[in-house]
Amino acid sequence: MVSTIAARRLLSKGRVLEYPLVSLEDGRIRHIEGLSAAEHKRVAATHRFPDATLVPAYIDIHIHGCAGHDVMEASSEALDTIGAYLASRGVGAYFPTTVTSPKDETLRSLAGLAYEIGRRQETSLHGATPLGIHLEGPFLSHLKRGVHTDALLEAPSIPLFDRFWQAAEGHIRLMTIAPELPGATELISHATALGVRCSLGHSDALVCEAEAGFVAGARSATHTYNAMRAIDHREPGLAAFVLDKQSLFAEIICDGIHVDPLMVRLYFKAKDEDRIILVTDGMSATGMPDGTYMLGDMQVEVRDGRCTSNGVLAGSVLTLDRGVKNLMEFTGTALGTAVAAASHNPSQLMGISNSWGSLEAGRAANITVVSPTADVIETFLAGHSTIASERSVTSSTR
């Protein structure tokens, strides 16, 4: 059965198409055409959004949970709820992100996440799709650990990583690692050879140590500025390296809490636009009222949008659609650039650009519909509207 979506414009990979009509069939984009304003008014479309823009569904590569659930639960209920909530915020795919935990707990979570990822590849489920696992910890700096439990951090170890890899059934796709730690460059090379994207973060690295991580294969940086050696004009560290290394992708938490808007502007001016990646670092409190929540096995207090554990920032309650709006507000950039930072750019880093991050005929119909102010109106995943799941998850998280 063929259905159609008509909108004011379509943005994809730098292309702007006015008055688009998108035909969908069997969950895929069958055809995209641009109409005249007069044709657009007359055409009979299944879904009509006269003032809205169609953009690729967003991809969050760094998220610990939302809607009252943590990805470390690794259960069907948790991931179903997380997926439904993310879809309501314009997200079509995500990489559930672990937090440093006891090894047995990490192994259990990785095995559970692997099962859930496999389940979603075999069944048609509505909601954002977990495409792979982001391993954040335990190979982090004691000096820049953030809220990760100090006693649970581990020296980079290929045998330990291989245990994680086997438990995850090869579904680890991204790993945060501090490049200055003994054994880090060897582990980066090993993981890169397996297809894992390595990201420099939670690190006190000097520029030479960051460069060594890059040479070993790292291609991204985890939440730029946060949990990094600060910029110093005589002894520049990882944050300065991230801004200077044009070929390096770089996450940023654009909530105005983790990074001051001025520093977001500096980041935006320094990085090539195709290397900017918006992430949330969201935790279970996202979409929930203020209170006490869990991040892994840590208690986190949430007040007025700020998440802290023992006074240290602990994730966020940012949503990716809000991050898109904030990037536009903080930097003055256009919608297309901000959308690319939440869709096309992460798809490039993660090697999934053949199926995510752009809107083209033949691809899965993963489409986010946004208003002129970048608010999410509706999300289509594999051609299905997620309006029903949005209403369900909104009522369950009030």
Phi, psi of 385 (to 5 degrees): -70, 140
Per-residue confidence (pLDDT) for residue 14, from 0 to 100:
87
- For 360, the token pair is 């083209």
Per-residue confidence (pLDDT) for residue 124, from 0 to 100:
55
Phi, psi of 384 (to 5 degrees): -95, 135
| Contact between 156 and 139 (Cβ < 8 Å) | yes
Residue 270 is inside which H or E element, if any? helix 261-270
Residue 381 is inside which H or E element, if any? strand 376-381
Characterise 383 by phi-psi region: left (phi > 0), alpha (psi -120 to 50), beta (else). left
Beta bridge partners of 32: 22
First to last CA, the chain: 36
Q: How many angstroms from the chain centroid is the CA of residue 278?
A: 7
Tell me the C-alpha distance between 347 and 345, whole Å: 5
Q: Is 79 exposed, middle or buried (0-12, 13-18, 19+ CB in 10 A)?
A: buried
The pLDDT tens digits along the chain (398 residues) read 899 999 999 999 889 999 999 999 999 999 999 999 999 999 999 999 999 999 999 999 999 999 999 999 999 999 999 999 999 999 999 999 999 999 999 999 999 999 999 988 766 567 999 999 999 999 999 999 999 999 999 999 999 999 999 999 999 999 999 999 999 999 999 999 999 999 999 999 999 999 999 999 999 999 999 999 989 999 999 999 999 999 999 999 999 999 999 999 999 999 999 999 999 999 999 999 999 999 988 899 999 999 999 899 999 999 999 999 999 999 999 999 999 999 999 999 999 999 999 999 999 999 999 999 999 999 999 999 987 444 444 444 43
**So which residues are the catalytic ones?**
281
Query: Which tens digit of pLDDT belongs to each residue from 321-369?
Result: 999 999 999 999 999 999 999 999 999 999 999 999 999 999 999 999 9
Per-residue confidence (pLDDT) for residue 125, from 0 to 100:
63
Q: Are strands 276-279 and 249-253 parallel, antiparallel or unpaired?
A: parallel
